[in-house]
Each structure stands twice: as C-alpha cells, then as structure tokens.
C-alpha cells in the first residue's frame, strides 16, 4: 500500500500531537510540519524525523493530505490555499470563526473536488460510541464542559473553544430542526466569554442545556440524557457510561399502593436496571482514531465521520449562541 504524504500546519499544543501520531502510522508518511514559530517547527520536525517549514505554502506540492491546527482565526486563510489545490484537510475545531468563513471553505472544497474533516474529537470517545449503540429518543440533554484556564485559544471564547464539542454531539443525537436558542455568558479574563450557558429547543420537543467554562477549578466533561427509555450519563474524561432503564412493568403500569411501597425499598434492585459501563478499553486513543478516519476517507473517497457539513452545523448553532450572549440586555419598555 502506497503511503499517503501528510503535512501538519500549526504544531503547537495540539498540532505537535497530530504530527507525533502521523509519524507513527504505517499508512502515512509525515513529509513536513509547518509553524509560524520557526523554533517550534524545528523542534517538532526533529522529534518526528521530518522537515520543518515556516510557510504553509511550502507543503502545497509535497502532500496528499494536511492537518490544520493553527489558531482558529487563521483556519480560513491556511485551509483555503490547500483546498484550492484539491488537497483534503483535517481542520481542527471549530471549523472557522464565522459561518460565512465555513461556507467559503465548503464551497472551495466542492469546487476543487476535495473534502474537509473537522476535529470534533469527542465523536471518537469510546463512551460516546457506546452511547450511540443504544437507541434513545432524548427529551432532555444536559452537558457540562469545564476546564481550568489553559492560556490558549484566547482568539475565541468558550463557546467556540469548548461548548462547540457538545453542540456537535447534541446535533448528532437529536436529528430534528432547532427551534430556539437562549444563552448568556460572561468574560472573566479577556474580551471573549469564558463562561457560557445555553438552552436549545428542538422541533421534536427535546431540550438541551449546555454549560461551559474555561475558568473552572475542577475540570469535568459530562452529558446526561433523559428519555422514555430511561437515563444515561456519559463521563467523557473517565470514558464511562451509566445507564438506568425502568423495566417494562414500571413503564406500562400506573402506580398503585403496592407498587409505591415496593418502589420505596426496591427501586434500583427490582424496578430500574442500573448498568455501569467502562469504555476505557479501546486499544487506540481518540486522536489516532480521528487521524485514521481521515486517512481512510482520503484513500477511499468515503465520507469521514465528522465532515465539513457537521462542522458547519455546530458552528451555526454556536453563532446563534454568541448572538444571544452579545445581545444587549432587554430592558422593560417605558410606559
């Protein structure tokens, strides 16, 4: 099998991990890394046994595929050069800063007969993969994504930095049009919001509440789902699922006195089945799975798991949330 020639543009915190993994994949050859910071490019190239460049255009004639992991404000400019040459991209999340930029990239990809994958890495979390194997019609979803302050991604706020992960996951689970968005947020350390809360209401009645903070003392990544089938909790950091399912008898019958008495003593032993599932058994890490999905899509021409349309959809909801966050507070109308 001929190896695909891959380059990585932006080898900072995340890009250096992309480069490290690409250099180990048998189906790829890491032909170069690019960083505007020449010393950083050199250091990563040396570790990965490849060439260092400072200008992304140096890769244009050398690659079959590229990973773009520069700060989000530069995604559009860097990605456009490669798409114009018909080179497929794995572009980090969020796909771009605005929906307009995302549309430009999608249009370029289509015009030049290539594609974009977007780095929504939680789709490859084994706990989320397990969740998707259990059909559910959620009526309510709650997501929390909290981190300490990393000092990175200050070009964007917490909605595009962290909440975008959960927006992509919620849109994957709820296949219904979005009816309304309510949100608020606050900037703590700079100009962009560091805390945000949003409520999405879908046309099928499902409601999703999302909370994100990047100035939180205790990191956490959780999702809870409620539906007629029961309750499911996802811990993305520990890669665990908690599934609680009421039995058929409980679901089908009204509560009488005998049942009420039994529920008090035997709720979780007889009536609700509780399953704790450890999903942290996958042989490969999420970033490797994401990169392998990208290389498979390049090789076969089949869609990647997270295509450009999915990246754009998450960004479109994020933009509505940001509009609500930045809307002037509504004041009571004067009499």
**Residue 277 is a binding residue for ligand NAD (CB under 6 A):** no
Q: Does 42 bind ligand NAD (CB under 6 A)?
A: no
Q: Which stretch binds ligand NAD (CB under 6 A): 6-14, 101-109, 231-239, 246-254?
A: 6-14
Nearest-approach distance from CB 207 to ligand NAD, in angstroms: 26
Q: Work out how close the CB of 139 gets to ligand NAD at its nearest, in angstroms, rounded to a whole number.
A: 28
The 3 state secondary structure assigned to 87-151 is: CCEEEECCCCCCHHHHHHHHHHHHHCCCCEEEECHHHHCHHHHHHHCCCCCCCEEEEEEECCCCC
Return the number of the residue (12 or 246) whose C-beta is nearest ligand NAD.
Answer: 12
Residue in 7, 32, 88, 119 binding ligand NAD, rule: CB under 6 A: 119
CB of 251 to ligand NAD, least distance (A): 38
Residues 159-218 within binding reach of ligand NAD (CB under 6 A):
none
Tell me the per-residue interface mask from 77 to 116 with ligand NAD, x by CB under 6 A, - otherwise: -x-------------xx-----------------------
Smallest distance, ligand NAD to C-beta of residue 70, A: 4
Place of tokens 């140096």: 58
At its nearest, how many Å lie between ligand NAD and the CB of residue 118?
Answer: 9
Per CB under 6 A, contacts with ligand NAD among 61-80 are 69-72, 74, 78
Measured between its terminal Cα atoms, the distance across the chain in Å is: 76
Of 65, 61, 67, 110, which is closest to residue 88 (Cα–Cα)? 65
Pairing type for strands 140-146 and 116-119 reads: unpaired
Query: What span, in angstroms and rounded, lies between the C-alpha atoms of 115 and 139?
Result: 34
The reply to whether 311 sits near ligand NAD by the rule CB under 6 A is no
If the CB atoms of residues 50 and 72 are measured against ligand NAD, the closer one turns out to be 72
Q: What are phi and psi of 141, to 5 degrees?
A: -130, 135
Residue 69 vs 83, nearer CB to ligand NAD? 69
Q: Which is nearer to ligand NAD, 243 or 314 (CB)?
A: 314
Pairing of strands 89-92, 116-119: parallel
Cα separation, 71 vs 93, in Å, equals 10
Q: How far is the CB of 264 from ligand NAD (least distance, A)?
A: 44
Residue closer to ligand NAD, measured from CB, 121 or 279: 121
Say whether 243 sits in a helix, a strand or coil: strand
21 binds ligand NAD (CB under 6 A): no
Closest by CA position to 127, among listed 242, 257, 239, 217: 239
- The answer to whether the CB of 295 falls within 8 A of the CB of 28 is yes
Pick the closest to residue 138 from 213, 79, 68, 223 (CA basis): 223
The secondary structure of 258-294 as a DSSP string is HHHHHHHHHIIIIIEEEEEEE-TT-SS-HHHHHHHHH
Min dist. Cβ of residue 175 to ligand NAD (A) = 23
Shortest Å distance, C-beta 176 to ligand NAD:
26
157: exposed, middle or buried (Cβ count in 10 Å: 0-12, 13-18, 19+): buried
Is there binding between residue 270 and ligand NAD (CB under 6 A)?
A: no
Per CB under 6 A, the segment of 11-19, 99-107, 108-116, 125-133 that binds ligand NAD is: 11-19
Which has the closest alpha carbon to 78: 64, 61, 62, 92?
A: 92
- The CB-nearest residue to ligand NAD is 12
Let me know the angle formed at the C-alpha of 195 by 193 and 200, rounded to the nearest 5 degrees.
100
The residue count for binding ligand NAD (CB under 6 A) is 25
Residues that bind ligand NAD (CB under 6 A): 9-15, 34-37, 40, 56, 69-72, 74, 78, 92-93, 119, 121, 152-153
């Amino acid at each position: 099998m001929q190896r695909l020639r891959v380059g990585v543009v932006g080898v900072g915190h995340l890009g250096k991990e992309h480069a490290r993994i690409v250099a180990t994949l048998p189906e790829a050859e890491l032909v170069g890394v690019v960083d505007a910071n020449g010393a950083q490019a050199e250091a990563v190239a040396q570790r990965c046994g490849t060439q260092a460049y400072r200008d992304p255009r140096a890769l244009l004639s050398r690659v079959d595929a590229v990973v773009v992991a520069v700060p989000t404000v530069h995604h559009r400019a860097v990605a456009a050069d490669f798409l114009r040459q018909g080179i497929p991209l794995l572009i980090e999340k969020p796909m771009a800063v605005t929906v307009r930029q995302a549309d430009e990239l999608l249009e370029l990809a289509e015009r030049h007969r290539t594609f974009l994958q977007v780095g929504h890495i939680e789709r490859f979390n084994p706990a989320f993969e397990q969740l998707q194997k259990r059909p559910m019609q959620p009526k309510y979803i709650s997501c929390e994504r909290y981190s300490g302050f990393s000092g990175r991604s200050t070009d964007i706020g917490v909605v595009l930095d962290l909440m975008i992960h959960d927006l992509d996951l919620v849109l994957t689970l709820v296949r219904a049009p979005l009816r309304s968005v309510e949100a608020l947020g606050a900037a703590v350390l700079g100009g962009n919001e560091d805390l945000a809360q949003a409520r999405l209401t879908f046309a099928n009645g499902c409601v999703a509440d999302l909370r994100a903070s990047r100035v939180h003392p205790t990191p956490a990544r959780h999702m809870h789902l409620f539906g007629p089938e029961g309750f499911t909790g996802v811990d993305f950091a520990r890669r665990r699922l908690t599934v609680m399912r009421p039995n058929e008898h409980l679901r089908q019958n009204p509560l009488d006195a005998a049942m009420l008495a039994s529920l008090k003593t035997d709720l979780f032993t007889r009536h609700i089945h509780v399953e704790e599932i450890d999903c942290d058994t996958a042989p490969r890490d999420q970033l490797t799975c994401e990169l392998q999905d990208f290389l498979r899509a390049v090789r076969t021409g089949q869609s990647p798991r997270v295509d450009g349309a999915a990246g754009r959809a998450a960004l479109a909801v994020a933009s509505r949330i940001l509009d609500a966050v930045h809307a002037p507070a509504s004041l009571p109308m004067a009499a």
